[in-house]
Amino acid sequence: MSIRFGIVGCGRISKKHIDAISSIKDAELVSVCDLDSKKAEKQSSYAGNVPFYTSYDDMLKSENIDVVNILTPSGLHSKHTIDIVSKYKKHIVVEKPMALLLNEADEMIKCCDENGVRLFVVKQNRYNLPVMKLREAVEQNRFGKLVLGSVRVRWCRPQEYYDQDPWRGTWELDGGALTNQASHHIDLLEWMLGEPVSVMAKTNTFLTDTEVEDTGVAIIKFKNEALGIVEATTATRPKDLEGSISVLGEKGSVVIGGFAVNKMETWNFADCSDEENSEVLKEYAEMPPNVYGFGHQRYLEHVIDCIENNKKALVDGLEGRKSIELINAIYESAETGKEVFLHFQPRRSRLGRKQHD
């Protein structure tokens, strides 16, 4: 029996979801929806002329759908999730970040729980093969005492990128480099190093005419006393450089680089033979050709497995909330110039809030 998917939001990322669903034996894309009929029609055509709608209410009343993939602007994820779950009780796959405000993330989790449906937050980079190998090393305690973890997102997003849609580059609906581009990498840092305790951060807008930052850095202290560094920018010029993570411990070091944490660059452990080192570097040197979309297929296969076999999700609402809290704490620190301790309620963070002239 196939799991039937419907897509709400036909922007840039929708193609990755269409490709992923079409590549999975037990999945079927039933229909797509966007307020912009041209966008909806374009993705309908790309998906093999499935029905398209400009209202998800019309789509969900007309089509038999099991899972709704919410790919709308980040600041609308909560509104759309709660509305669809309350009315139609469908399972939800929501793109990152699941919400911009912590209370909205909490409302999404509560609504899905109360209506007996599953909430899956897309963190497809967890399924990159080198990342899974790194996670295996963490779980096996091969690092011993963790010392330092760092993520670097050095991507290029020119002004034309933000000018594509009016919601891009706004605090209310989008967020900046830390929220939009680096949320996956911040998630990976937490997944490897554990619970964050506090953060200090600085942000700035250098090369774009936007409300939000195009560059930010943060220093994080974790519960296990390890330190973390986040470096995120969309002001790399003239083109993308890297999306990477490194983890250092008393017994070993691992660095994953490439454009999208997809290439194992360093694998060194005290108990690691030269043979193992060369084998790991060779096996995880390159991901499949479709690097950017590879994890989406693996992630949606996981979603189907969880629904069909009642398994625990790798990234459910509670897990997806963690990076939202840390990102809000980073912004809080950048606004106040002070160290921010988690857990907290944002007061100065502008993320998810309409800005007044």
CATH number of the domain where residue 69 is located? 3.40.50.720
Give the per-residue pLDDT at 345: 87
- φ/ψ region of 48 (left if φ > 0, alpha if ψ in -120 to 50, else beta) reads left
CA angle 126, 98, 298 (to 5 degrees): 30
- Per-residue pLDDT tens digits for 67-97: 999 999 999 999 999 999 999 999 999 999 9
- Per-residue pLDDT tens digits for 271-300: 988 899 889 998 987 655 544 446 899 999
**Residue the block writes with tokens 């967020």:** 175
Verify that 260 and 300 share a domain, yes or no: no
Residues 6+ apart with CB under 8 A from 79: none
Residue 350 lies in a domain: no
- For the chain, the domain total comes to 2
Residue 355 lies in a domain: no
Residue 300 lies in a domain: yes
Residue 157 lies in a domain: yes
Verify that 105 and 148 share a domain, yes or no: no
Residue 67 near residue 92 (C-beta atoms within 8 A): yes
Residue 11 lies in a domain: yes
- Per-residue pLDDT tens digits for 155-201: 999 999 999 999 999 999 999 999 999 999 999 999 999 999 999 99
Residue 181 lies in a domain: yes
- Per-residue pLDDT tens digits for 246-265: 999 999 999 999 999 999 99
Verify that 71 and 195 share a domain, yes or no: no
Chain Cα centroid distance, residue 271: 33
Give the per-residue pLDDT at 179: 97
Residue 53 lies in a domain: yes
39/342 Cα distance (integer angstroms): 40
Verify that 88 and 216 share a domain, yes or no: no
Residue 348 lies in a domain: no
**DSSP codes joined into one string, 283-345:** HTS---S-HHHHHHHHHHHHHHHHHHHTPPPSS-HHHHHHHHHHHHHHHHHHHHSS-EESS--
84/53 Cα distance (integer angstroms): 15
Give the per-residue pLDDT at 277: 87
Give the per-residue pLDDT at 272: 87
Verify that 82 and 156 share a domain, yes or no: no
Verify that 107 and 120 share a domain, yes or no: yes
Would the pLDDT of 356 be above 80? Answer: no
Supply φ then ψ for residue 138, to 5 degrees: -65, -45
Beta bridge partners of 221: 198, 227
Beta bridge partners of 94: 70, 121
Verify that 51 and 181 share a domain, yes or no: no
Residue 1 banded pLDDT, cuts 50, 70, 90:
confident
Average pLDDT, the chain: 95
Q: Could you report how far apart the first and last alpha carbons of the chain are, in Å?
A: 53
Give the per-residue pLDDT at 315: 97
Verify that 160 and 216 share a domain, yes or no: yes
326/333 Cα distance (integer angstroms): 10
Verify that 94 and 138 share a domain, yes or no: no
The proportion of the chain whose per-residue pLDDT surpasses 70, expressed as a percent, equals: 97
345/79 Cα distance (integer angstroms): 20
Give the per-residue pLDDT at 288: 56
Give the per-residue pLDDT at 330: 98
Give the per-residue pLDDT at 287: 59
- Per-residue pLDDT tens digits for 38-73: 999 999 999 999 999 999 999 999 999 999 999 999
Verify that 147 and 61 share a domain, yes or no: no
Give the per-residue pLDDT at 294: 62
Verify that 130 and 76 share a domain, yes or no: no
Residues 6+ apart with CB under 8 A from 211: 169, 170, 171, 350, 355
Residue 294 near residue 127 (C-beta atoms within 8 A): yes
Q: What domain range is 136 assigned to?
A: 125-288+321-341
